[in-house]
Amino acid sequence: MKKIGLMGCGAVAGYGHIPAILKTPGLALHAVYDPNTAALEACRERFGIEGTFSDPELFFESGIEAVSITSPAPVHRENVLGAAAHGLPVLCEKPLAMNRAEAEEMIAAMAGADAALYAGFCYRFSPSALKILELVGEGAIGSVKSLRLIYNWNCHGKYTTDAGGNRVIQERREGRMLEGGPLCDCGTHQIDLALFWTGSKVTRYCGAGAWVDDYAAPDHVWLHMDHADGAHTMIETSFSYHHTSRNQRSEFVYELIGTGGVIRYDREARELSLENAAGRQEFPFHPEKSFEGMYAEWERALATGTSELLTSPEDAVRVVEIARGATDEAIAAVALR
C-alpha cells in the first residue's frame, strides 16, 4: 500500500482525485495539505481523512511516499519543488506549469531527486480514449491524417446567484479566464490527446482567437498543429459557448480522420463509432474523464518505475508551451488589427 499525500483540497480533488485514490486498492490517502483551513476541514468531514495539514513541511514529513498535486496551476511549481526536496514522486494536475521555464525547473528538480514526475491528464484514461488508441494502433482507419478535437462550453456560465439571490459574476470562470482561458485550461487535454493518439511530435502550431467576452485572453480559441508524421490537428475550444444562455449547451467531439476511415466520439450524442470500408461499428460510450483509470496506472507506475500511458514531463512541457504560445499569438494578432 503506497501512502499518498494530496496537495490542494478543492473542486477537482473532491469530485475526481480523492474518490479515485480511495477506490485504488494499492493506494492509501495518508495526508492532505491545503493552506486554506476551511477547505481542509471540509475535506476531513466529507472523506473522514485525519491527516490534514496547513503546514507543508509537516505534510511532507508525515510519512507519505508519493504526492498528488491538485492545487491551482500557478502554485504547481511551488508544490512540485517541495516534493522534489523530499525525494517524493509526483502526479501533477494539468497544466504542469504556467510556462516552459517553470516546467523545466520542476523537471530538473525532480530528476535531481531521482523521483518520477508525471502530469495528470485524466482524459487519456477514459475507456473511450483508450479504445481510440487501440483502433488507431491496429490500423482501423489506416494512417491518421486529420484530428478535429472540439470542446465548447460555458465554463459554469458567466453569472451565478449569490446567497442573497443577486446575479453575480461566476468566479470559477473568471479565474480560469485570468489564468489564460480555455486553451490553457481544458484545451490542454485536447493537445495531450493529439500527442497520445498520434504518437507524433508537434513540429509547428498557430493559434487564433475570438473575444465573445472581455478578457485579456480570447475566450474562444482555435489551434492548428502539424505533426512530424504528416498528420494535422485542429482544436476548437470555448468558455463562452452559451455563457449567458438560460440553458447550458456544449459541444464535445473527437474526430480522427484516416486514409481508411473515421473514428468519431461525441459526448452529447453518447457515441463512439468507427466507419471504414467494412461499414459502421459502434462501441460502448464512456465519459471523457477517468480519474480511476489514471490512478490505477499511477499505482502501476509507482510499483514498476515506468508508464507507457501517463503523460511524460517532456510532453507536458510541450503541451504548456503550445497552449500558452497559441493563446499569446491570438492576442498579438488582435493587437495588430
Ligand X SMILES: NC(=O)c1ccc[n+]([C@@H]2O[C@H](COP(=O)([O-])OP(=O)(O)OC[C@H]3O[C@@H](n4cnc5c(N)ncnc54)[C@H](O)[C@@H]3O)[C@@H](O)[C@H]2O)c1
Where does this chain bind ligand X (CB under 6 A)?
7-13, 33-36, 39, 70-73, 75, 78-79, 93-94, 122, 185, 289
| Nearest residue to the partner ligand X, using Cβ | 10
CB of 17 to ligand X, least distance (A): 9
- Is cis: bond before 56, omega within 30 of 0? no
Q: Which is nearer to ligand X, 123 or 197 (CB)?
A: 123
CB of 292 to ligand X, least distance (A): 13
CA dihedral 17, 19, 21, 24 (to 10 degrees): -140
CB of 40 to ligand X, least distance (A): 8
CB of 113 to ligand X, least distance (A): 19
Q: Which is nearer to ligand X, 144 or 323 (CB)?
A: 323
CA distance 286 to 271: 9
Q: Which is nearer to ligand X, 84 or 135 (CB)?
A: 84
In angstroms, the Cα distances linking 173 to 15, 66, 157, 193, 225 are 18, 31, 7, 23, 26
| DSSP count for the chain of H helices, then E strands | 11, 16
Q: Which is nearer to ligand X, 144 or 297 (CB)?
A: 297
CB of 282 to ligand X, least distance (A): 26
Contacts of 116 (CB under 8 A, 6+ apart): 89, 90, 110, 301, 302, 305
Other beta carbons within 10 angstroms of residue 183's beta carbon come to 31
Q: Which is nearer to ligand X, 153 or 261 (CB)?
A: 153
